[in-house]
A and B are shown apart, each in its own frame.
Chain A
Amino acid sequence: MTETEIKTHENFTLPASLVTKIDVSRLVSEVERVDNEMTASAVRAKAGSGEQTQPMLSDQLSEFLHQNNLTLENSIERSNLIKELRLLKDKAPVLHMTFSVTADVESLQKLTDWVRTTVHPQAVIAVGLQPALVAGVYLRTPNHVHDLSVRGALQGRHGLLVEELESLRGSK
């Protein structure tokens, strides 16, 4: 790990593939697994039973490490990373986004990209499904709710519909 910037959970750059809190948890579990494997491998190497092998890393972890210029060579680094990742998991701001259809990965990644660019760099998304929304998204932030769905638009313009019906009644 380069010492130019100390990476903490507050300045982690999260890859687009890391969308939800579950993904973060998975990342934490993976780092812990890698840490265990590498520790065991080191011990075995010291004991002379074999060479130290590099564990398999997932694309998500590789991307994360690459974007944050992190390595897992050092056990201290790995421990710090695990600690920071756990903090990230607990403290990352969550945007609850409910869609009317099942969200595909690509769309989610684009959304995540936008959220991290515009709203918060460590924000994660909690995805929900509510077909009654028809289209759009029902966004829930820690203290507010933003109904950006077609259903909400229709409800918001309910008065307009009633006015139209009244004018139709009046014209007859």
Chain B
Amino acid sequence: MGIFQHKKPEVKKTPQEEASDAVVNYIDETFKDELRTFGRSYFEKIINDTGALFQQDLNTTIGQVNVQLQDHVTKQLDVAIAQVNVELKDRVAKQLEGQFTEYNNEMKQAQEVALKTLTENSEQLQAEYQDLRTTLQKNVADQKVTLTNVFEENKVRIAEMKEAQDMALKSLNDSAQALKDQYAQINATLEKNVADQQQVLVSAFEDNMGRIIEHYLLGALGDQYDLKAQLPSIIHQMEENKQAIVDDMKL
């Protein structure tokens, strides 16, 4: 209200009017906004719940549809497979039968051919056997004759060889005996020579040992005595040889 404006006179209202004015005053923009907000949020909530329920239903439906579809497809597939199996079995059996028949025929043919070939080979072998037998018998007979001749010849030769062996053995024995005698003789001579050599060596050793001992004594005693100590001995020895010395001086 402005400064220069006059307060309007207050009009009395009915309770209804007062109520509607209260309502109008109560329902202002703020309230509207709040209502709007509330309505929005409630709507969103409703929508969300509905959506969740819908989704749930949808999922359930889809699950059911899936299961049903799966069953249906499985059934269809089983039927198809059974059918295919039967058809395939028939076809394969027919094919195999055909092939077996063919193989049997061919095997029979091959067996006949093999039998024929074997028979021919067997006859051929028999013929060859006969030939070989004949030849072998002939050869054996020939060999028998040859061996008999050779045996007879060898018998004579063996007898001669035996005779020669006996003579050689006798000669060897004689030689062995002669060698034995010679050996004994040589042995005796050798022993005698060895004994003689031994004696000679021992004698030479003893002689040399004597000389060594003399040499040692001479070396050891060389400088021990002067002439004064030797004089009595020298004079004594000269006395013993006095006559010889005197006779020699007189000559």
Contact = CB atoms under 8 A, between A and B. Distances in A.
Interface stretch (A43-51, A62-70, A82-90, A103-111): A103-111
Interface string A118-147: 111001000000011011110101111010
Given A100-B222, A141-B245, A142-B248, A148 B214 contact: no
A148 B241 contact: yes
Interface residues of B, number: 34
Given A103-B227, A148-B234, A169-B202, A135 B221 contact: yes
A107 B249 CA distance: 22
Contacts of B218: 132, 134, 150-151, 154
Contact of A162 (B207, B234, B237, B248): B207
Interface residues of A, number: 40
Nearest to A103: B227
Contact of A139 (B217, B224, B245): B245
A118 B242 contact: yes
B225 interface: yes
Nearest to A102: B227
Interface string B75-119: 000000000000000000000000000000000000000000000
Contacts of B136: none
B206 interface: yes
Nearest to A108: B227
A77 interface: no
A114 B214 contact: no
- Could you tell me the dominant secondary structure of chain B's interface residues? helix
A163 to B, nearest CB: 9
A106 B230 CA distance: 13
A131 B222 contact: yes
B150 interface: no
Contact of B235 (A114, A134, A161): A114
Secondary structure type dominating chain A contacts: mixed
Contact of B228 (A107, A146, A158): A107
Contact of A119 (B221, B234, B245): B245
Contacts of A148: 234, 237-238, 241
Contact of B246 (A101, A119, A136, A155): A119
B233 interface: yes
A101 B225 contact: yes
A166 interface: yes
A123 B249 contact: yes
Interface of B: 202, 206-207, 209-211, 213-214, 217-218, 221-228, 230-231, 233-235, 237-239, 241-242, 244-246, 248-249, 251
8 contacts: A101-B223, A114-B238, A139-B238, A148-B241, A161-B210, A162-B206, A165-B206, A169-B202
Given A114-B238, A162-B207, 20 more contacts: A95-B249, A99-B230, A101-B223, A103-B227, A106-B228, A110-B235, A118-B246, A132-B218, A135-B224, A136-B234, A139-B241, A141-B248, A142-B251, A144-B245, A146-B244, A148-B238, A150-B217, A165-B209, A165-B210, A169-B202
